[in-house]
Amino acid sequence: MDTRTLGSLTVSVVGLGCNNFGPRLDAEATRAVVHAALDAGVDFFDTADIYGKGLSEEYVGRALGPRRHEVVLATKFGMKMDDERHGAHPDYVRRAVEESLRRLGTDRIDLYQLHTPDPAVPIADTLGALDELVRAGKVREIGCSNFSVDQLREARGAAPGARFESVQNEYSLFHRDPERGVLDECARQGLAFIPYFPLASGLLTGKYRRGQAPPPGTRITSGGRYADLLSDENLERVERLARYAEERGRTLLELAFAWLLARGEVVSVIAGATSPDQIRSNAAASAWRLTDAERAEVDALVPGSE
């Protein structure tokens, strides 16, 4: 497994998104996926306090146990846990990190990320509290998520001390918004970019093909905000991308990872997994390295995707 740099950290180019732990997988199933990830060379684990209302952090901490030292452990804070626990006020930052440390069963968080901007709190105040955590050794690096270009620039100029080293926003072949400025800002600031939903909620796994019944029990088939993903237009895009990959002896899943990793700003593609086989497939997908010409060919197949 190749690695890339995030601040002072070195992370595997395929990471494990832990949002399934708690809501979809119990502690034992989580353990199986976590150990399969470690055995496959995946050492970057990304969770959040909000996932399963704390269960994800608990399950990850239990599953790692004595293998904690083998991973770069990232978590997030700021989204609403309950009426009292939310936001980015310094007092809450201090409370949130202690609760995450306890649930994770660790004395440090390698990457602590503000999950979403908090317009009610000056970013300088939040960064000041995060700097305290870094100086206290409770956090190694800090990052942010769902930030715009303007918010990244404001954070960079806000305060001395610890600065954001990464930004985690949605990015995939079907969601190209970071190309409208955020990736360029990452390059200017030297920020590591971490794409979430890299497989477009499963659309780029190869499980959904035109003319075939979708597998039951998946996120897309559950309805709600994901239902629109199975549009005729998107399924046609899937067919074009799948053909491109298959003509080269590859899979659509491999193409989704390779396309993201061809961007120098991307340090790790974090994707969720609900089984050991799934995480092993994700890990193996990093082997394909697209040339600049190949990436341009893929872009031409899905122009204007969002």
Mind telling me the catalytic residues? 51
**Residues whose CB falls within 8 Å of the CB of residue 117, separated by 6 or more in sequence, listed in order:** 88, 123, 144, 146, 147, 151
Cα separation of 228 and 225, whole Å?
7
Edge-to-edge strands of the sheet including 269-272? 192-196, 164-170, 139-145, 109-114, 72-77, 44-46, 14-17, 269-272
Longest dimension (CA), the chain: 56
Residues 6+ apart with CB under 8 A from 53: 22, 81
Contact assessment for residue 73 and residue 109, using Cβ atoms and an 8 Å cutoff: yes
Distance CA 213, CA 221 (A): 10
3-state secondary structure of 202: helix
